[in-house]
Every structure is written in C-alpha cells, then in structure tokens.
Structure 1
Amino acid sequence: MSDIIDQVTRAGHTVAQRESFLKLAARHWRWLATLAVLVLACCAPFQLAPFRTFQLAMAMIYAIALVGLNLLVGHTGQISLGHGAFFAVGAYTTAVLMDRWDTPYFAALPIAAAVAFVLGFALGVPALRLRGLYLALVTLSIAIFLVPLLKRFETWTGGSMGLTLTKPVAPQWSGLAEDQWLYFLALITTVVCFLLVAGLLRSRVGRAMHAIRDNEVAAEMMGVRTAFYKTLAFAWSAMLAGVAGCVYTWVIAFVSPDSFAVGLSITLLAGLVVGGLGTQWGPLLGGLFVMYVPSFAQDVNQAAPGVIFGLLIIAVMYLAPNGLAGLAGRAARWLEHLLRKGKTNAR
C-alpha cells in the first residue's frame, strides 16, 4: 500500500486520481485478505482437534443465519427479534424429512430453504404496516410461541424429546473424517451464501434496499417499490436462516424445541450488532462471537455466564460502536494515515 501511494504521489497525479489509485489498492488488499481467510479456513480442520473443528463449523452456521439477518436489519433497515424461529423451521424441516421420509441430506437443503422463504414472505406482508418497536414485538412473539408449538405436534417433532438423526457420512473418495466432512459442508454453504448476498447487494435490488434503509419516504418518491423489496428482504432473510438451520441439523444430528428458545433470536441479533451492522465481515465476526464468547464466559465463571456475556457485549459496544468490523476498518484507515504521514515526512 505504501509503495503505491509513493508512486502515485511522485507521478504528480491529481487528488482525484490518487484517491482512485488508493481505492483500487484497497480493493486488492480486500481480495487478498479474503483469499487468506479461505486458505486458513480450508487448513483449519487438518490442524485442530475434532471438537475445535465442530466449534468452527457452528460459528459458520451462525454466520449464515447472520448474513440473512444483516440483509434485513443492516441493509434494509427493518428489525427482527424472531430470527431464531426461521432457524428452527429450517432445522425441523430437515429433521422431519430425514427422519420420517429418509430424504437425502442434500435434497433436504433446498426444501428447508423454500419452506423458510415462504414463511418469511408470509410474515413480511403484514409486517409492512409495522415499524420500529411494533415490528420488533411481532417478530419476538413468533419466537416465543414457536417452542410450545413444536412440543405440541409430538408425532412429527418428537415433542420435548426432540429428534435424533444420523450424521452425514463422508464419502470414501474424500478421505475425510466425519467432523472434517461436516466442517467442509458448513464452509461451502457459508461461502455460497456470502457470495449470493454480496452479488444481490451489488445489484439494483441491493441499491433499492439501501435506499429504503436510508430514507423510506424518499425511496418511494424515487419510484422504489418499498413494499415489494421489504417483503423480499424478510423472505430472503428467513431463507438464509432456514439454510443455517438445515446445516445445523447435519452437524448436530439432533433437534429439540428448547434449542430454539427466544434467547437464540436475541443472541443472533446481539451477535450481528457486535459483528457490525451492514458490513461485509460483520456476520462472520458475529458468528465467531456467538459461538466462542458464551463458551469463554462459561469457562471464566460457571455460575454467571450470562453476566459475563452481557458485560463483554457492553465492552465491545463501548470500544467499537460500529461493531468489530468497524473497528477493523478504523484500524486500516489509521494504518493508511500513518503510511501517508511517514511518506510526507520522508520527503
């Protein structure tokens, strides 16, 4: 980065040209950082113990759910406290398909995603009339009544006892252990979901969502169909949560109603805020936070893990109001400022 800045400055380019070069260099650095993360992710299951591999797989599952929640909250400006309900819908759809009808686990994924999409669309239509706290309360109510609803239909859901399944077996040609195979299933699904959302946000649909988030009235006056895009945002967000629930069922091989209590929805929203609303890396950082911080809090004090978890959230919000992704962005800008200052002093 410093070499590029030096070359551009010596060439005598204008300020606009220098900024253009800097943006291009920053884009290359982002691609290199993404590639480095992927390489590390591919190497991780061969270096870690099976339990640590399982934890990373769970972090990626939460990241899938959070990238959908980020699409709704961070990029469209809506609010949801019931995202765990769609997570449960994907998990139970997969579990019922695999347990009752012996559906192959790969075939269960698009069905779980479709069911969650339809339910999200159905919720998005009445949610058009609601905003702010009213919308938050409606989505929260969905997460609250889901648990007793799952317990009621014992024939299908297994009631309070849940359903126990068989984990996907690694193909012989892969040469992978069971935990490694499940990890790569989670990794591939995560990468595909992130790429799909990134492409969506760069399209006209993404620009419409950002316009609704910034100023809904102005967006409608400019011809943006706010009702249509807000409903689609709910549906796509629910679909990605359903995909996360499906992969969760593959990895855990067990579902029970108590695993999807209202606390899951609140934890997911807190993880997204901590990771960084409306950012590219926020869902991934939030997934790591949701997975590892409760475990860390449990190790510190088994009597009060919730207190430690809450204090850590407060500390992160105080130190990084824009989330961990925003903190990383500030660090990058600070480093760039130091490089510029160093080059100026050297001349």
Structure 2
Amino acid sequence: MAAIELIDLKKNYGPVPAVKGINLTVADGEMIVLVGPSGCGKSTLLRMIAGLEAISSGHLRIAGSEVGHVDPADRDIAMVFQNYALYPHMTVRQNLEYGLKNRRVPRHEIGRRIADAADILEIGEFLERRPRQLSGGQRQRVAMGRAIVRNPAAFLFDEPLSNLDAKLRLQMRVEIRRLQRQLKTTSLYVTHDQLEAMTLADRLVVMNGGRIEQVGTPIEVYRRPETVFVAGFIGSPPMNLVCLDELGPCTLALPRETNLIGIRPGAIKLGKGAADDLGFDANVELIETVGDENNVHLRIDGTDKRLVASVPSDQRLREGDRVTCYVGIDGLHPFNTATGRRTD
C-alpha cells in the first residue's frame, strides 16, 4: 500500500488543456472517488496515474517515488475497467494467472493468490469457465480478482459498474466497498454516478472543466458545497439555485456579496414558517411520487422561476394548487454568481 501524490498535474492535447493543474494527496489505504460530468477530465486523470496517458507537466508520486515517466507495468498499480478487459479464450483461472506468470511469480505463490482472491470474491466455482459463460456481475468480480492477485500498491477503478443493471450496480458497490476496507488498499475510483460516489468514498473529489471544484467527505460536500457548480451537481434532485431578485423583497441577513441562494429540495416546507424564515408563494405544476417522498415541481408566484421540493408522499397536494412555502435560515446556501463561490 502507498500514498499517491499529484502535484500541479497537467494534460494538454495540443493547445487544448484537459487537466489543468491538479493537486491532490490520496492517503495510504484511502478510497478517493473522482466524480463529475462527462468531459471534466476525471478519466484522463486516472489514465495519467496508470501511465496510459502521458503527463504534460507536474509530478506524480507513489509511495514517495516519482513515477510520472515510469512504464505502466512498473508503477505497482492495478486497474479495473468498465469493459472487464478479460481474455475471452482463457478460463477465469488463466485470466487470473496471466499477469503473474509474466512477472515470473513462483507457481505455488500464484496458486495461493488465486485461491485467496477466489475466496474473497466468491468466484471459486467459476475458475474453469470462460468469460462468455459468466454474467456481467461475475465478469466484474473476475476483473477485480485479476487486480487483487497482483497485491498492488493501489487500485484504479474506471467506471467499473457502468455496464451493469441497477440491481447489480447496488450489489457490486457493496462488494467493492467491503473489498477495499478488507484489503486496505489505496484506491481511486472514477464515476459520473453520484450515488456510487457518495456511498463509496472516504473523500469525494468533484471535478469540472479539468479542475478540482471541491474535496471533502461525501457529507461535507453535500451539506456545504463551496461553489455554484458543486451545489447544482451534487444531490438528486439537485439543489435549487435562485437569484435574490426572483424571491421579491428579501429581509434575510445574508453576506453582502450574496446574489444567489441554494436550497435543497428537502429544505422547502409547505405552510407558514417563522418570521426569520424565507417565505414565498408558489403554484404546483407537477408531482412525482418517489417511494415515501413526492418531488413537487413549483413555480414561484409572479415569476417564471421553478423549484423542486421533496415532501412526504402523504402530504395531500394536487397539480394546480397554490401553496405557501418556507425555508429555515439553516437551509439557505449563499453564493455569488460573479465568483461562483460560497459567500459565508
């Protein structure tokens, strides 16, 4: 196991910058999840760490050693891809053995590592099968097994669950988190799926436009987004972002440079609040039932501004109703649109 250090790491494709000076340290044994929209640079960054993309400038260190120009095979890392990357003509056992044989690992040690990985991942009964005889979830277990048998300093995961259906994704999320905690291997995991990111990460790295927007534990990032982008990206449904002039006369005590308010859907309550709450009237345009909650789409009275409120499903509402809403002061996130950053 080993810490991974990224120091002003950059990647350019000709004149086009794709990764714009990343500084990040992944602690020994930590699980970091990189999350962001398509094209934000998260997979490119992971491939730079793996050695599959050349580094344009900056430093990459694993266990204190500079590895930015070291061959991928010599970086002591193992990567799990979204397409499994298994050899179709080989059995599961042969897929697991292949990399070890190339590294001239003794045969008895190969057997021990495969037995251990098969036990951890519960794939012992599949060892003599070929990939085409396995389900998607089983193939992904084999792909992880191939990484485990190497005993690497770090695991890199590039959207490994994106080809699985929703039920299998849930099962494999649990398996990956259990596995990482059991092995205590330093890990970087790339996904565009917020639920994966929130449930897997020790720390979350939110990326946008080749840069890091925010780093923190999942609950820190959710409860206190530092930028307008993070506020609108993290959360489902996403945070409502409302300009102050869309709320009418405002007597709230907010930082002077605030001109945008973020409101989580769950923070909007229906009814009259206290005198120091934010209050407004709205019209119900659409109601989406999601289990025990309804996502209620509202339009603020006298404006074209639309919000989403998450309320208990037993709260009686109909489309077309006019409702009074309030948000407690603790449910307001103040931002400035010019800087794109939080103001408190």
| TM-score, normalised by the number of residues in structure 1 | 0.22
Larger Rg over CA atoms? 2
Q: Which has the higher strand share?
A: 2
Choose between structure 1 and 2 for higher RCO, CA contacts under 8 A separated by at least 6 residues.
1
